[in-house]
Chains A and B, each alone.
Chain A
Amino acid sequence: MSLFAEYAISALLLFGGAFTLIGAIGLARLPDFYTRLHGPTKATTVGVGTIMLSSVIYFSALGEGIDFSEVLITVFLLMTAPVSANLLAKAAMHVSVKTMKGTEGQPWEQ
């Protein structure tokens, strides 16, 4: 495997892992449900997508032929993350979860 591929794979792996971790930190430390919703929908999706990308490059660099199954999973995650975020936000409005102090505007009644 070329040195360049090794650097690229390592960098992408660390980047993906860091973003997955940041998404989880956001989930653990942000103050209310609606703000917590932002961490997993963005940071975690990007993190896992990057890890998939490094997997594609790794197996392609090993010379096993290019296989795009990982890309399929990434696209699936990118399509489903907003849907589950939206449904969870609706559910949260239905059970009227508390919003943090200083939130501007109101969630709608369900």
Chain B
Amino acid sequence: MFDRLSFPQPWLSLTLFITWQILSDGVSGASVVLGLILAWLIPQLTRNFWPERPTFKKIWIMPGYVLRVLKDIVVASFSVAWLILSPRTPRPAFISYPLHLENPMAISVLASTISLTPGTVSADISNDRKILLIHALDAPSNQEVINDIYNRYEKPLLEMFQ
């Protein structure tokens, strides 16, 4: 059951280790040892819940992507705040977004990004994982929203995962 000292998911293990160091009061010998144990044990125990291991192609795009999403989250909340406070009624729309990504992990990253960025929440995905249903708070035109999402978020994700 346990492959001795193997880390089936190095990135998950690294994240767990760093998280544990932040959680404990300062980095000490005890926290490093316990962090190593957790980083080994948790991926082993949850192995069955990860049907396919996510494969990264170009991991170095990641920091730029995260920064862009963080910036967009702040911009998004300003535009949503403006819409909430302005008296005019918004023009909401349900939009079917055609997915190009195939990796389930990549799709969930894209869906989360869509939910956190300007005026859109991802609501559902079709059974064949080809179409994402998006609710837009104020959509001037559907095609514009689709193009925006493709150029800003899906393209870098496509490069990163496939």
Contact = CB atoms under 8 A, between A and B. Distances in A.
Does a CB–CB distance below 8 Å link A and B in the complex? yes
Interface of A: 19, 22-23, 25-26, 29-32, 34-35, 37-39, 41-43, 45-47, 65, 68-69, 71-72, 78-79, 81-83, 85-86, 89-90, 93, 99-100, 102-108
Contacts of B22: 68-69, 71-72
Interface residues of B, number: 36
B104 to A, nearest CB: 14
B94 A104 contact: yes
A25 B85 contact: yes
Given A69-B23, A82-B116, A107-B94, A89 B123 contact: yes
A19 B142 contact: no
Interface in B8-62: 19, 22-23, 26
B157 interface: no
Contact of B142 (A23, A42, A71, A104): A104
Contacts of A104: 91-94, 139, 142
A53 to B, nearest CB: 11
Contact of B121 (A46, A89, A99): A89
Nearest to A65: B26
B124 interface: yes
B73 interface: yes
A22 B84 contact: yes
B73 A46 contact: yes
Contacts of B151: none
A81 B26 CA distance: 28
Contacts of B114: 82
27 contacts: A26-B84, A34-B92, A35-B90, A35-B92, A37-B121, A39-B80, A41-B116, A42-B76, A42-B116, A43-B80, A43-B81, A43-B84, A46-B73, A46-B77, A71-B22, A72-B19, A79-B112, A82-B111, A82-B113, A83-B112, A86-B111, A86-B121, A102-B89, A103-B92, A104-B93, A107-B94, A107-B124
The 8 A-B pairs of least Cβ separation, nearest first, read: A82-B115, A105-B94, A104-B93, A26-B84, A89-B123, A82-B112, A46-B77, A22-B81
